C-alpha cells in the first residue's frame, strides 16, 4: 500500500535490492522470501519482532531517491511480492516519463511526495476511511495483529506491550496484543515462531505476583492451563487494562452487555504527547468515570469530563482544604486529599451563578459557585480557570435547556384536554390522580395485583403508624438530642444535596440517624435524591404501566408479600402490603433482568417505613443497581462474589478462625443471609436499621466490617464448635441479642428469636458499641481494595456458574446421544464460543435473544443459521464442497423444532450424533427427511399434495381438539369462510365437548397415548417428489468429493439414482391409471420391458437384494404398463459422450463407466427426457432437443414420487454406499481442528503446532 513519504537514512541496512531505476528502488527484507537468508535472516527476523519493526508485516518496500542525493524516502510497502510489484509497475508507467521533464531535484521530490499523498487521500475518500487519532505506528500494529492471528476488522486492538512469555523454562521475548475479546502473544526467535491466543471469556484467574527471579509477573489462568508473562516496561498499566477487558468479558457472560465504542470522545490535539489508541483512551475514560460515580454515588450514566487540583474554602473551619475538583455533565464534585476530611457534590441543576473572582497572591485564580439554596462555594488555585469556567458554562447551558424543555412538556400536557389528562398526572408527579384513573379502568379485575384500590402512599409508613398510637411512641430524650445535633450540623454545614460532608457527618451517622430524618438522609447519602429529581413522574408512570400485568416476577412478589417483616404492625394491613406490592412490581418492570429476587421484599419493606413510596422506589434502584451490583439477579452473582471477598478478608484479618470456618463450611451459609438483607433478617429490627444507616453512608465496607466484628466477638466459641449447626446457633443467638437502647420503637421480637429454644438468654450487645468496635478493628479496609478483590472473585464465580451450566446441559442430554461426556463438554465449549464470537463479530439475530440466563440450561445459548453453517462445515461429516451451505440450511430447519430460527445445544447435538453414530437406517432417514421438508424455506416450488403431506408430518398439531376442529372445518368449508381463522369454532367445539361427559374419557385416553414415547415409523415419512429427488442426488454427489473411495461411491450413486428413477416411473403409471376415465383407451408409444405376470420386480447385487416394497410388489405388471427408462452415461474421462442402455440387474452391477455425470429421465417420451449435467455444483436441467434451460417449476414431473422404503431398499443394493453410511464418525479431531481454525485461522498441521498455538477453554 502507499504510505506517507518518510525519510530513510540507511537504505541498504538489512534490506536486499531487487529492482532499481534512476528514481526508485524495490527492496526485500533479509530473511524473507526464497532461501530465508540463513543465519542472517533468522537474526533479522528476531530483531524485527523484538524491536517491533514494520518489516515483519510488510517485508517489501519501494524507496524514492534523486540521483545526486543520499537521502531515501519510503513511499510504498507490501506484504507480498504481488502487491509491491503492482505498485512498481504503476510507477514505471505513470511517473518515470513525467520525472524526466523536471530539471530541479527539489521539484522532483516535491512532486513525488505530493503525488503519493494525493493517491492516499483519494483512496481514503473512495473507501470512506475517516481520519482518526491513531498514530501510524499503532495502525501498523493493527495490521500485524490481524495478519498474525487472522482476526477480522471487527476485532479492535486496544494496545500492545513488549514482554516475555514463559514457555516451560524458556522465556520468549515478543509482543502481547490486547484486543477487546482476546489476549494474544507473538514471538519469533531464531526461526521458532510462538503464538498464543486466549479469549477473555475463558480466563478464570488474572493476578500480578512477585517471584524470586522477577520482581513482578502477570499470571493468566484458564480452565486447562496457566500462562506467565514478565519483563514489562509498565506492568501497572498493562495489568489494569487486562482487568478492564476481562471485566467486559465477564459482564458479557453475565447479562450480554457487550462492548460498544464511545464515539463521543473529544479528539486529541495535534501536539498531544500521548500516543495511545482511541480504544485505550475510551477504556481509561470509562475507568475514571466508574471511580468517580462510585466515589460520589452518582447515576450510572454520568461521565467524567475532567478533574483538576484546587483548594476549597470551608467556612466551618475557616481554612482552604487541598483536594481535587471533578466536573461532569451534570455535577461538580470535590474531595479532599486527606480522606474523609471534606467532600462536596453540587448538581448543576442547583447552580445559579458561576463567576471568576479577582486573583491575589493569597488566593490565586479563585472561582465562586452559587446555588439556589443561597450557598456559595469558593475554589482557588485552579490551573486553567478560563477553560474550566467555559466547560462548566457549557454544561450549565445544557442543563438549563433540559429543565426548560421538561417544563414546556409538563405545561403543554396540563393545558390540553382529557386526551392528555393521564399523562399529565404522571409527569407532574400526582400519583393519586393517575392511580384513581387506572383503578376505574381495571375495576373489573378480581385479582388486584397492585392494590390500586389504595392510593400511592405519600407519607412514610412509620409516620402513619405513629399517628394511630401516639401515646406509645413519645420521643425519648436521646432521640431529641440526636435531632438537635443534626439541626446544628445542618446549620453549620448546609442541608440537602450540596451539604459539606465531613468527619463530623460520619460521627453523627455512627451515633444513629433520628427516625424523623432517616428517609431524607438515606436519599442524600445513597445518591437516590439525584435520580428522583431528574426523573419526575417516572415512578407513577411505571406503576400505571404495571397495573394488570402478570408474569413470573409478580407471581413471586405476591407469594412473598406477607413474609416481609410480618412482625411489624405496618405490614399487617393492606396499606403497607399495597405499597410494598407497588414498589416491587414497578422495579420488576423497570429492570426485567433482575425482576424480583427473594430478600428484596425485606429490604424494601424497611425502606417504606422511613421513606415515601416514590423515595423507597429510588432507594431500591440505588441499592440494586449501584450499591449492591448483581446482588439480586437470578443467580445472586454479586452476593456470591462478596462471599468470596469475605472469605479473603477473614483469612487476612481473623487468620486463627479462617481454617476452622472453612472446615465447618459456615462462611458460605452466613454471608448470603447477612449480605442480601443487610443484617435485617438476622438482627432485631431496631438494631438492623442502624446498620442500614451506616451502609448508605459508607457503602459495602460497613457490612464487611460488621461481619468480621461478629466473628471476632465469638472467636473462642466458634473454635470449639464441632459442626456447622453449632456454629450457626452461636452466631444466631449473638445477633438476636444485639439491641438498640436509643430506639423509640416498641420492642418487636425478632422472628429468629421467636423460633429459637428457651435456653439461657445471651448477654445483650449494644449495636452502637458493636459498630464502633468494627471501625476500630477493621476500619482500615478500603473501598478500592474491596473492588480489587471483587474483580478476582467475579472471575471465579462467573466461570464456576458457566461450568455448572455446562455440566447440567451435558447431564441432561448425555443419555440421548452416543457422545461421551468429554466430547459433549468440548462440543458445548465450541457451541458457546460460536455464540460469543457472533456477539462481538456480528450476527443476524440479536445476542440477547440467543442468550437469556433466566431460561432453562438447555435454552441459555442458542445459535442462528449463520453460526450453524460455520459449525456444520467444521464438525459435520457430510459437509463437503459448495453444496455444504444448502445441506446445512436443510438440516438447520429440520433441527429447529419450534421454528424460531434458533437452535439450542440439544438440537445441535442431536443432528451431529445422528450423522456420526447412528445406524445406517437412521442416517438415511435423516438424509431423506432433510430433503422432503416443505420447500418455502428454500424458495422452491413443489407438488401441493407432497407439500401438504410433508407439512402434516413435520408440523402436525399435538392438540387433539384442534384435529377435530380442522376436520369439522374441512367438512363445512363450502358453507362458511372465516379467512382461515377458526377461533370461534374452537371455542364452540370445546363447549360442546365439555357438555358431554363421555368425551372426558376420550381425552384422557388420548392424553395417555401422547404421554407414551412415540416411535417414528418409516411408513409415516412423506413421499419424495422429483424436484426433491434431484436435490438429494446433488447432495450425494457432493458428499463424496473428498472421500478416498470417491470413484466407487460415484458409480454406486449413479446405479442407485437410476434405479430410483425407474421405480418412480413405475409408480407414476399406477397414479395415471387410477385417474383415467373408464372406457378411455390408453395409447402407449413407448418400449417396455417384458416381465412375467406374477413376478415381482427384484433389484440386487450379490447376496443382498430387496424387492420393490409396499403395493408395487402386489400388483401384476404387464408390458403395457411399463415404460422404457433410459440412462445416458457420461464419465468424467469422456465427457459429453452418452450411450443409451436398458437398466437391469447385470447391467447395473457390471457397468464400470458410471460416474457423477448422469442423465435423469423425467418422462416417458424422448422429447421430455431431462438431462442433469454435472450434478456437483451447478446443475442445469435441459431438454434433448437443445431447447433453453427449464426452470424447476415447469421441468419436473408432478406425478413422479418415491417412498422412503424404496429409497432405503435401493441403497442396500450398493455395498460401497452401505459401508460409507455405516462408518462411525470420530468427532474429537474435528473439534480440535475447529478450535484451531476459529482461533488461529488455520487448521492443525502437527501436534507441535497445536501445542504452541494454545487454545484455552
Please answer whether residues 903 and 1218 qualify as being in contact, where contact means their C-beta atoms are separated by less than 8 angstroms.
Answer: no
The pLDDT score that the predictor gives to residue 818 is 87
- Dihedrals phi, psi of 1150, to nearest 5 degrees: -90, -10
Cell of 501: 460532608
Cell of 177: 496484543
d(Cα 617, Cα 607) in Å, to the nearest integer?
Answer: 8
The pLDDT score that the predictor gives to residue 1073 is 65
Residue predicted with more confidence, 445 or 342: 342
The C-alpha torsion from 1086 through 1090 and 1092 to 1098, rounded to 10°, is: -90
Sole residue written with cell 526464497:
34
The pLDDT score that the predictor gives to residue 518 is 92
Residue partners of 1058: CB distance under 8 A and separation at least 6:
1125, 1127, 1143, 1148, 1158
The C-alpha torsion from 841 through 843 and 849 to 850, rounded to 10°, is: -70
Q: From the centroid of its chain, how far is CA 1116?
A: 64
The pLDDT score that the predictor gives to residue 93 is 76
Burial class from Cβ neighbours inside 10 Å (0-12, 13-18, 19+) for residue 251 reads middle
Q: Find, among 1157, 1148, 1160, 1153, the residue nearest to 1214 by Cα.
A: 1148
Q: Residue 754's pLDDT band (boundaries 50, 70, 90)?
A: very low
Residue predicted with more confidence, 19 or 226: 226
Please answer whether residues 204 and 222 qualify as being in contact, where contact means their C-beta atoms are separated by less than 8 angstroms.
Answer: yes
Instruction: State the number of CA atoms in the 13 A half-sphere of 995 facing the CB.
Output: 6
The pLDDT score that the predictor gives to residue 484 is 92
d(Cα 960, Cα 815) in Å, to the nearest integer?
Answer: 30
Residue 285 has pLDDT above 60, yes or no: yes
Residue partners of 1183: CB distance under 8 A and separation at least 6:
1167, 1168, 1169, 1170, 1171, 1190
Q: Residue 652's pLDDT band (boundaries 50, 70, 90)?
A: very high
- Interhelix angle 783-813/821-841, rounded to 10 degrees, is 130
860-885 burial, b at 16+ Cβ within 10 Å, e below that, comes to bbbbbbebbbbbbbbbbbbbbbebbe
Number of alpha helices (DSSP H) and beta strands (DSSP E) in the chain: 48, 31
Q: Find, among 702, 874, 726, 710, the residue nearest to 781 by Cα.
A: 702
Residue 26 has pLDDT above 70, yes or no: yes
- Dihedrals phi, psi of 689, to nearest 5 degrees: -65, -25
Range 315-332 average pLDDT: 94
Least confident window among 127-136, 352-361, 1140-1149:
1140-1149
d(Cα 870, Cα 843) in Å, to the nearest integer?
Answer: 12
pLDDT in tens, 64-75: 777 667 777 788
Range 136-152 average pLDDT: 83
The pLDDT score that the predictor gives to residue 444 is 34
pLDDT in tens, 1172-1207: 334 443 433 333 333 333 334 445 677 788 888 888
Residue predicted with more confidence, 339 or 1163: 339
Residue 56 has pLDDT above 80, yes or no: no
The pLDDT score that the predictor gives to residue 55 is 47
In the chain, the percentage of residues whose pLDDT exceeds 90 is 28
Residue 531 has pLDDT above 60, yes or no: yes
Q: Residue 334's pLDDT band (boundaries 50, 70, 90)?
A: very high
d(Cα 499, Cα 484) in Å, to the nearest integer?
Answer: 17
Q: Residue 1137's pLDDT band (boundaries 50, 70, 90)?
A: very low
DSSP label of 623 = I
d(Cα 833, Cα 841) in Å, to the nearest integer?
Answer: 12
Range 469-477 average pLDDT: 52
Range 376-392 average pLDDT: 92
Strand order in the sheet with 304-314: 351-356, 367-371, 376-380, 304-314, 319-328, 331-336, 342-347, 501-502
H or E element that contains 849: helix 847-850
Residue 272 has pLDDT above 80, yes or no: no
The pLDDT score that the predictor gives to residue 936 is 46
Range 1019-1046 average pLDDT: 83
Least confident window among 822-826, 840-844, 901-905, 1024-1028:
840-844
Residue predicted with more confidence, 226 or 215: 226
Residue 348 has pLDDT above 90, yes or no: yes
Residue 1070 has pLDDT above 90, yes or no: no
Q: Find, among 691, 715, 712, the residue nearest to 778 by Cα.
A: 712
Residue predicted with more confidence, 277 or 810: 810
The pLDDT score that the predictor gives to residue 854 is 60
Cell of 539: 415512578
Cell of 1069: 403409471
Q: Find, among 653, 674, 670, the residue nearest to 776 by Cα.
A: 653
Residue 590 has pLDDT above 90, yes or no: yes
The pLDDT score that the predictor gives to residue 1170 is 38
Residue 1114 has pLDDT above 50, yes or no: no
Length of the chain: 1257
Please answer whether residues 862 and 835 qualify as being in contact, where contact means their C-beta atoms are separated by less than 8 angstroms.
Answer: yes
The pLDDT score that the predictor gives to residue 238 is 93
Q: Residue 147's pLDDT band (boundaries 50, 70, 90)?
A: confident
Give Cα separations from 452 to 321, 444, 564, 601 (angstroms): 52, 12, 20, 19
The C-alpha torsion from 171 through 175 and 180 to 182, rounded to 10°, is: -40
| CA triple 1152-1156-1159, angle to 5 deg | 90
The pLDDT score that the predictor gives to residue 843 is 53
pLDDT, mean over the chain: 74
Q: Residue 275's pLDDT band (boundaries 50, 70, 90)?
A: low
Residue 1026 has pLDDT above 80, yes or no: yes
Question: Which of the listed ranges 928-942, 1000-1014, 1156-1170, 1192-1206 does the model predict with the highest average pLDDT?
Answer: 1192-1206
Residue 191 has pLDDT above 80, yes or no: no
- Cβ atoms < 10 Å from Cβ of 844: 10
Residue 1063 has pLDDT above 80, yes or no: yes
In the chain, the percentage of residues whose pLDDT exceeds 70 is 67
Least confident window among 116-120, 196-200, 312-316:
116-120
Q: Residue 78's pLDDT band (boundaries 50, 70, 90)?
A: confident
Q: Residue 1108's pLDDT band (boundaries 50, 70, 90)?
A: very low
Range 852-877 average pLDDT: 80
Residue predicted with more confidence, 370 or 1019: 370
Tell me how far apart the terminal alpha carbons of the chain are, to the nearest angstrom: 38
Residue predicted with more confidence, 690 or 74: 690
Residue 950 has pLDDT above 80, yes or no: no
- Dihedrals phi, psi of 1107, to nearest 5 degrees: -95, 160
| CA triple 1196-1201-1202, angle to 5 deg | 140
Find residue 367's DSSP bridge partners: 356, 379
| CA triple 87-93-95, angle to 5 deg | 80
Q: Find, among 682, 693, 677, 699, the residue nearest to 738 by Cα.
A: 682
d(Cα 75, Cα 598) in Å, to the nearest integer?
Answer: 67
Please answer whether residues 827 and 819 qualify as being in contact, where contact means their C-beta atoms are separated by less than 8 angstroms.
Answer: yes
Rg (CA), the chain: 39
Residue predicted with more confidence, 1236 or 418: 1236
Residue 383 has pLDDT above 90, yes or no: no
Q: Find, among 683, 710, 698, the residue nearest to 774 by Cα.
A: 710
Q: Find, among 963, 855, 859, 936, the residue nearest to 903 by Cα.
A: 859
The pLDDT score that the predictor gives to residue 940 is 41
Please answer whether residues 190 and 172 qualify as being in contact, where contact means their C-beta atoms are separated by less than 8 angstroms.
Answer: no
Cell of 1238: 476459529
Residue partners of 1065: CB distance under 8 A and separation at least 6:
1123, 1125, 1161, 1164, 1200
Q: Residue 849's pLDDT band (boundaries 50, 70, 90)?
A: low
Please answer whether residues 178 and 279 qualify as being in contact, where contact means their C-beta atoms are separated by less than 8 angstroms.
Answer: no
SS3 content of the chain, % helix, strand, coil (to 5): 50, 15, 35
The pLDDT score that the predictor gives to residue 760 is 61
Amino acid at each position: 500500500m502507499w504510505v506517507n513519504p518518510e525519510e530513510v537514512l540507511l537504505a541498504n541496512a538489512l534490506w536486499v535490492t531487487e529492482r532499481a531505476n534512476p528514481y526508485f528502488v524495490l527492496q526485500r527484507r533479509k530473511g524473507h522470501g526464497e532461501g530465508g537468508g540463513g543465519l542472517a535472516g533468522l537474526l533479522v527476523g528476531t530483531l524485527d519482532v523484538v524491536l517491533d519493526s514494520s518489516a515483519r508485516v510488510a517485508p517489501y518496500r519501494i524507496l524514492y531517491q534523486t540521483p545526486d542525493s543520499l537521502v531515501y524516502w519510503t513511499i510504498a510497502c507490501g506484504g507480498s511480492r504481488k502487491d509491491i510489484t503492482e505498485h512498481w509497475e504503476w510507477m514505471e508507467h505513470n511517473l518515470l516519463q513525467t520525472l524526466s521533464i523536471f530539471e530541479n531535484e527539489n521539484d522532483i521530490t516535491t512532486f513525488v511526495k505530493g503525488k503519493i499523498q494525493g493517491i492516499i487521500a483519494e483512496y481514503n475518500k473512495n473507501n470512506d476511511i475517516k481520519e482518526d487519532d491513531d498514530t501510524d505506528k499503532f495502525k501498523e500494529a493493527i495490521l500485524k495483529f490481524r495478519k498474525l492471528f487472522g482476526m477480522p476488522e471487527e476485532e479492535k486492538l486496544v494496545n500492545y506491550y513488549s514482554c516475555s512469555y514463559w514457555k516451560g523454562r524458556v522465556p520468549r521475548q515478543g509482543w502481547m496484543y490486547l484486543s477487546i475479546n482476546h489476549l494474544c502473544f507473538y514471538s519469533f526467535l531464531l526461526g521458532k515462531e510462538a503464538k498464543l491466543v486466549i479469549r477473555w471469556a475463558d480466563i478464570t484467574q488474572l493476578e500480578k505476583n512477585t517471584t524470586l527471579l522477577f520482581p513482578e509477573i502477570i499470571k493468566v489462568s484458564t480452565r486447562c492451563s496457566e500462562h506467565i508473562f514478565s519483563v514489562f516496561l509498565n506492568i501497572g498499566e498493562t495489568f489494569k487494562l487486562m482487568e478492564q477487558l476481562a471485566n467486559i468479558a465477564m459482564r458479557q457472560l453475565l447479562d450480554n452487555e457487550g462492548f460498544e465504542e464511545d464515539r463521543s470522545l473529544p479528539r486529541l490535539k495535534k501536539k498531544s504527547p500521548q500516543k495511545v489508541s482511541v480504544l485505550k483512551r475510551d477504556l481509561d475514560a470509562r475507568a475514571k468515570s466508574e471511580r468517580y460515580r462510585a466515589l460520589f454515588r452518582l447515576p450510572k450514566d454520568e461521565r467524567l469530563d475532567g478533574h483538576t487540583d484546587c483548594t476549597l474554602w470551608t467556612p466551618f473551619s475557616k481554612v482552604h482544604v487541598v483536594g481535587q475538583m471533578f466536573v461532569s455533565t451534570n455535577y461538580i464534585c470535590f474531595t479532599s486529599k486527606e480522606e474523609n476530611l471534606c467532600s462536596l457534590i453540587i448538581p448543576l441543576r442547583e447552580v445559579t451563578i458561576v463567576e471568576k473572582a479577582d486573583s491575589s497572591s493569597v488566593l490565586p485564580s479563585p472561582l465562586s459557585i452559587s446555588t439556589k439554596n443561597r450557598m456559595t462555594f469558593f475554589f482557588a488555585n485552579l490551573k486553567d480557570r478560563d477553560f474550566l469556567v467555559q466547560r462548566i458554562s457549557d454544561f450549565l447551558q445544557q442543563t438549563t435547556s433540559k429543565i426548560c424543555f421538561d417544563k414546556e412538556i409538563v405545561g403543554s400536557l396540563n393545558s390540553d384536554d382529557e386526551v392528555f389528562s393521564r399523562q399529565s398526572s404522571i409527569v407532574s408527579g400526582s400519583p393519586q390522580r393517575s392511580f384513581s384513573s387506572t383503578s376505574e379502568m381495571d375495576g373489573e379485575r378480581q385479582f388486584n395485583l397492585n392494590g390500586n384500590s389504595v392510593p400511592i402512599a405519600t407519607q412514610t409508613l412509620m409516620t402513619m403508624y405513629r399517628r394511630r398510637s401516639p401515646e406509645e411512641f413519645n420521643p425519648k430524650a436521646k432521640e431529641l438530642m440526636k435531632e438537635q445535633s443534626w439541626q446544628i450540623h445542618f446549620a453549620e454545614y448546609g442541608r440537602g444535596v450540596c451539604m459539606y460532608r465531613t468527619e463530623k457527618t460520619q460521627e453523627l451517622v455512627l451515633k444513629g440517624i433520628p427516625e424523623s430524618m432517616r428517609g431524607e438522609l438515606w436519599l442524600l447519602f445513597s445518591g437516590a435524591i439525584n435520580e428522583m429529581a431528574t426523573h419526575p413522574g417516572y415512578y407513577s408512570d411505571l406503576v400505571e404501566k404495571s397495573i394488570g400485568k402478570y408474569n413470573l416476577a409478580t407471581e413471586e412478589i405476591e407469594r412473598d408479600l406477607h413474609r416481609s417483616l410480618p412482625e411489624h404492625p405496618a405490614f399487617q394491613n393492606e396499606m403497607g402490603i399495597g405499597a410494598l406490592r407497588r414498589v416491587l412490581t414497578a422495579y420488576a418492570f423497570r429492570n426485567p433482568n433482575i425482576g424480583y429476587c427473594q430478600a428484596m421484599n425485606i429490604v424494601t419493606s424497611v425502606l417504606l417505613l422511613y421513606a415515601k413510596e416514590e423515595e423507597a422506589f429510588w432507594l431500591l434502584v440505588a441499592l440494586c443497581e449501584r450499591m449492591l451490583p448483581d446482588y439480586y439477579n437470578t443467580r445472586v452473582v454479586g452476593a456470591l462474589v462478596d462471599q468470596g471477598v469475605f472469605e479473603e478478608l477473614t483469612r487476612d484479618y481473623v487468620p486463627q478462625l479462617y481454617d476452622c470456618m472453612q472446615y465447618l463450611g459456615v462462611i458460605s451459609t452466613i454471608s448470603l443471609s447477612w449480605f442480601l438483607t443487610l443484617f435485617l433478617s438476622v438482627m432485631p429490627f431496631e438494631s438492623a436499621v442502624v446498620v442500614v444507616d451506616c451502609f448508605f453512608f459508607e457503602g459495602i465496607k460497613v457490612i464487611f466490617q460488621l461481619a468480621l466484628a461478629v466473628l471476632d466477638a465469638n472467636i473462642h466459641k466458634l473454635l470449639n464448635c464441632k459442626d456447622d449447626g453449632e456454629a450457626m446457633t452461636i452466631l444466631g443467638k449473638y445477633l438476636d441479642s444485639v439491641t438498640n437502647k436509643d430506639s423509640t420503637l416498641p420492642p418487636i421480637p425478632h422472628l429468629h428469636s421467636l423460633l429459637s429454644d428457651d435456653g439461657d438468654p445471651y448477654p445483650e450487645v449494644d449495636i452502637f458499641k458493636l459498630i464502633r468496635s468494627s471501625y476500630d478493628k477493621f476500619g482500615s479496609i478500603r473501598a478500592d481494595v474491596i473492588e480489587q478483590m471483587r474483580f478476582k472473585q467475579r472471575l471465579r464465580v462467573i466461570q464456576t456458574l458457566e461450568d455448572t451450566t455446562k455440566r447440567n446441559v451435558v447431564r441432561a442430554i448425555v443419555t440421548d446421544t452416543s457422545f461421551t461426556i468429554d466430547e459433549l463438554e468440548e462440543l458445548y465449549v465450541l457451541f458457546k464460543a460460536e455464540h460469543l464470537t457472533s456477539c462481538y463479530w456480528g450476527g443476524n439475530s440479536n445476542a440477547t435473544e440467543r442468550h437469556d440466563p433466566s431460561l432453562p440450561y438447555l435454552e441459555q445459548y442458542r445459535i442462528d443459521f449463520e453460526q450453524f453453517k460455520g459449525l456444520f462445515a467444521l464438525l459435520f461429516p457430510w459437509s463437503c464442497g459448495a453444496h455444504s451451505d444448502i445441506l446445512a440450511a436443510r438440516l438447520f430447519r429440520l433441527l429447529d423444532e419450534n421454528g424460531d430460527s434458533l437452535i439450542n445445544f440439544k438440537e445441535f447435538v442431536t443432528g451431529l450424533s445422528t450423522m456420526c453414530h447412528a445406524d445406517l437406517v437412521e442416517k438415511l432417514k435423516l438424509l431423506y427427511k432433510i430433503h422432503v421438508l416443505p420447500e418455502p424455506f428454500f424458495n422452491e416450488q413443489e407438488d401441493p399434495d407432497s407439500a401438504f403431506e410433508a407439512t402434516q408430518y413435520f408440523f402436525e398439531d399435538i392438540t387433539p381438539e384442534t384435529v377435530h376442529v380442522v376436520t369439522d372445518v374441512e367438512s363445512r368449508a363450502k358453507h362458511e369462510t372465516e379467512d382461515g381463522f377458526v377461533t370461534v369454532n374452537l371455542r364452540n367445539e370445546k363447549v360442546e365437548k365439555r357438555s358431554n361427559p363421555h368425551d372426558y374419557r376420550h381425552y384422557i385416553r388420548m392424553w395417555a397415548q401422547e404421554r407414551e414415547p412415540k416411535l417414528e415409523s418409516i411408513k409415516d415419512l412423506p413421499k419424495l417428489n422429483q424436484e426433491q429427488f434431484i436435490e438429494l442426488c446433488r447432495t450425494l454427489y457432493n458428499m463424496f468429493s473428498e472421500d478416498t473411495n470417491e470413484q466407487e461411491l460415484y458409480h454406486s450413486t449413479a446405479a442407485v439414482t437410476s434405479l430410483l428413477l425407474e421405480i418412480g416411473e413405475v409408480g407414476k403409471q399406477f397414479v395415471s391409471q387410477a385417474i383415467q376415465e373408464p372406457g378411455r383407451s390408453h395409447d402407449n408409444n413407448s418400449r417396455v420391458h417384458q416381465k412375467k405376470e406374477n413376478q415381482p420386480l427384484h433389484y440386487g447385487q450379490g447376496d443382498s437384494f430387496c424387492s420393490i416394497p409396499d403395493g408395487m410388489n402386489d400388483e401384476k405388471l404387464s408390458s403395457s404398463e411399463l415404460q422404457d427408462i433410459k440412462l445416458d452415461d457420461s464419465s468424467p474421462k469422456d465427457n459429453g459422450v452418452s450411450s443409451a442402455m436398458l437398466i437391469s440387474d447385470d447391467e447395473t452391477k457390471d457397468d464400470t463407466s458410471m460416474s457423477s455425470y448422469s442423465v435423469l429421465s423425467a418422462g416417458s417420451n424422448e422429447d421430455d427426457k431431462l438431462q442433469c449435467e454435472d450434478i456437483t455444483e451447478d446443475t442445469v436441467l435441459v431438454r434433448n432437443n437443445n431447447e433453453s434451460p427449464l426452470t424447476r417449476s415447469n421441468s419436473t414431473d408432478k406425478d413422479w414420487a418415491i417412498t422412503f422404503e424404496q429409497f432405503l431398499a435401493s441403497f442396500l443394493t450398493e455395498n460401497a454406499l452401505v459401508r460409507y453410511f455405516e462408518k462411525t464418525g470420530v468427532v474429537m479431531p474435528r473439534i480440535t481442528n475447529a478450535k484451531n481454525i476459529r482461533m488461529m485461522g488455520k487448521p492443525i498441521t502437527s501436534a507441535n503446532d497445536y501445542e504452541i498455538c494454545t487454545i484455552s477453554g
